[in-house]
Amino acid sequence: MTDTPTVEPTKADSLSMRDNRTGREYDIPITDGTIRAADLRQIGVKGEPGLATYDPGFVNTASCRSAITFIDGDLGILEYRGYPIEQLAEQSTFLEVAYLLLHGELPTQAQLDEWVLSITYHTFIHENLKQFIEGFRYDAHPMGMLMATVSALSTFYPAASKIDDPENRMLQITRLIAKMPTLGAFAYRHQQGKPYVYPDNSLSYTANFLAMLFKMSEPTYQADERLVHALEVLFILHADHEQNCSTNAVRSIGSSQVDPYSAVAGGIAALYGPLHGGANEAVLAMLKRIGTTEDIPDFIAGVKDGKEKLMGFGHRVYKNYDPRAKIIKKACDDVFEVTGVNPLLKIAQELEKIALEDEYFVKRKLYPNVDFYSGLIYEALQFPAEMFTVLFAIGRTPGWLAQWSELVQDKEQKIARPKQVYTGIRSRDFVPMSER
Ligand code: SDX
C-alpha cells in the first residue's frame, strides 16, 4: 500500500454544517473528495448516539483507499495501475496483466518468465479434489462447484492462514491463479460426463485451459490461436474493476484475516448473482427468449413496465459506454471469423440500437456493460451458458487477490462491521407457550 502523503486540510478543505436540533456548528475536514463517516459521530443530541451515514448498497460510500484500478464512469475510462484497458487488451497478456495488478508495475522479461513458470508449475490440483467434484450431481451449476472447490483449497493449504507473511501470500496467490482454470475445466468435464484432462505445462495459460476443457483422444489439443487470443483478451478485460460487489465481498471476508482461498470463495459466491457476474449467462437467455428482432419492441415494453431488466445493460459506475463492451464487441468479429457469426448477434445489435435511442434508457444512462456481448463470444467458443460466469471468475481472480493483498497491508483497515438502523420491536418480555 503506497502511503499517499497526507496534506493537512485547510478551512477551505472542510464542510461547515449546523445541527438545527442544537444550533451547534461543525467543521468536517474534506480529504480526497470524501468526509470520514467517523467525524459525524461528534454531531448528536443529548442522550442519543452521534450521527452515522446510511447508504444501502454503498451507492455513495468509499470503503478503502486503493491504487489498483481507476474508473471514470462518466468518461468511460478504465485503467489498471494507470495503464488504459484499451492498450492492455491490445498489447499485453493475461499473466502479464495479473503481474501488473499484483505488483503495481509491468514486469521485466526476466520477471515475467519467472512468473509464468511459477504459475505453470502450480496448475495441478490435489487428487482428493476430484472426489469433491464427483460428489456433485451431473447437472450441478459449475459456479457452485467452483465456489466449493476453491474454499476446499483452504483445507489443503492450512499455511495460507499466515496472511502477514509476504512470501506465503504470494505463494498462495500463485497457487490460486494457477489452479482456477483447472478447477473450472474439471467442473465442466464433470458436467459433460467426460474424463478430466490434466494440465499440459507445454501450453500457455489460456491454451492449456482450452485443452483441459475440450481435449478428447487427440495426443495434444491445439486450439485455434485466434480463439486463444480472444479468450486472453476477455480474461484481461475481466481482471479487475475496483470495488465491485464480488471484490467488496472478498475484502469484507478478508478483513477477518481468514485465508485468501476462503475470501475468494466468497467473491465467487457474489459473482454468481445475475445482477453481477451471472449477467452474461442471463443475457444469452434473454436474447434466446426474445428470439427475433421483430419481438424486440414487445420485450423493451416489458422492461419499461418494470416486468424485467435489460440484462447486460446499466452499471453502478459507468454512465457512459463500458469501455470493455466496446473492446468485446470488436473481439466478436475476430471470433466469428473463425466460428461463423452467432445468430443472436443480430438481435443483440438491434436491441442495443433501440435501447440507446429510447428515452427510458437514455434518461437512466443505461449502456451496454461488459456482460452484454461477452456471452456471444463464449457461446461461439462452444462454452455452455452455465460456464460463462466461471470464465468471468478465472479472469477476475488476479484482481480479487491484488485487492485482498492491498487490504491485508493497509494499516487503516479494520474488520468490516457496519452499523444498522434498527426498525424492530424493543424490550418485550418472553411469552410462555401457554399464553401465546
Ligand atoms: C457487472 O460493479 C462492477 O464494476 C460490476 C462489473 C465488474 O466488472 O465487476 O462491471 C460487472 O456486474 C456488470 C453489471 C452486470 N449486470 C447486469 O447487466 C444486470 C442488469 N443491470 C442492472 O441490474 C443494474 O444496472 C446494475 C445492477 C448493474 C446496477 O444497478 P444500480 O447501480 O443499483 O442501479 P439501479 O438498479 O439503481 O438502476 C437505476 C435505474 C432504476 O430505475 P428507476 O428505479 O430509477 O426507475 O435504472 C434502472 C433501474 O430500474 N435500471 C434498469 C437496468 N439497470 C438499471 N432498467 C432496466 N434494465 C437494466 N439493466
Note down pLDDT in tens along the chain; length 436 residues. 445 555 555 667 999 999 999 999 999 999 999 999 999 999 999 998 999 999 999 999 999 999 999 999 999 999 999 999 999 999 999 999 999 999 999 999 999 999 999 999 999 999 999 999 999 999 999 999 999 999 999 999 999 999 999 999 999 999 999 999 999 999 999 999 999 999 999 999 999 999 999 999 999 999 999 999 999 999 999 999 999 999 999 999 999 999 999 999 999 999 999 999 999 999 999 999 999 999 999 999 999 999 999 999 999 999 988 999 999 998 998 899 999 998 899 999 999 999 899 999 999 999 999 999 999 999 999 999 999 999 999 999 999 999 999 999 999 999 999 999 999 999 999 999 999 9
Determine the Cα–Cα distance for residues 219 and 169; give it in Å rounded to an integer. 36
What is the dotted CATH code of the domain comprising 79-407?
Answer: 1.10.580.10
Structural contact between residues 185 and 209, judged by C-beta atoms closer than 8 angstroms? yes
Distance 323 CA to ligand 1 centre (A): 16
Residue 247 CA: nearest ligand 1 atom is: 9
Which residue's alpha carbon is at the smallest distance from atom 49 of ligand 1? 364
C-alpha cell at 176: 490460486
| Nearest CA, atom 32, ligand 1 | 316
pLDDT tens digits for 252-296? 999 999 999 999 999 999 999 999 999 999 999 999 999 999 999
* 371 is an active site residue: yes
Whole-number Å distance, alpha carbon 207 to ligand 1 midpoint, is 33
C-alpha cell at 211: 485443452
What is the structure's pLDDT at 12?
76
Integer Cα distance of 283 and 377 in angstroms? 12
Instruction: Tell me the sheet residues that pair with 28.
Output: 15
Is 276 assigned a catalytic role? yes
Indicate the helix (H) or strand (E) that contains 363. Answer: helix 359-363
pLDDT given at position 342: 87
Residue nearest to atom 12 of ligand 1 (CA): 276
Which residues, judged by CB distance below 6 Å to any ligand atom, belong to the binding site of ligand 1?
241, 244-245, 275-276, 279, 303, 309-317, 364, 366, 369-371
Domain-wise residue ranges, the chain: 14-58, 79-407
Measuring from atom 57 of ligand 1, which residue has the nearest CA? 309
Q: Measured from the CA of 277, which atom of ligand 1 is nearest? A: 12
* Mutation to probe ligand 1, out of 245, 313, 388, 389 (largest number of atoms < 8 A from CB): 313
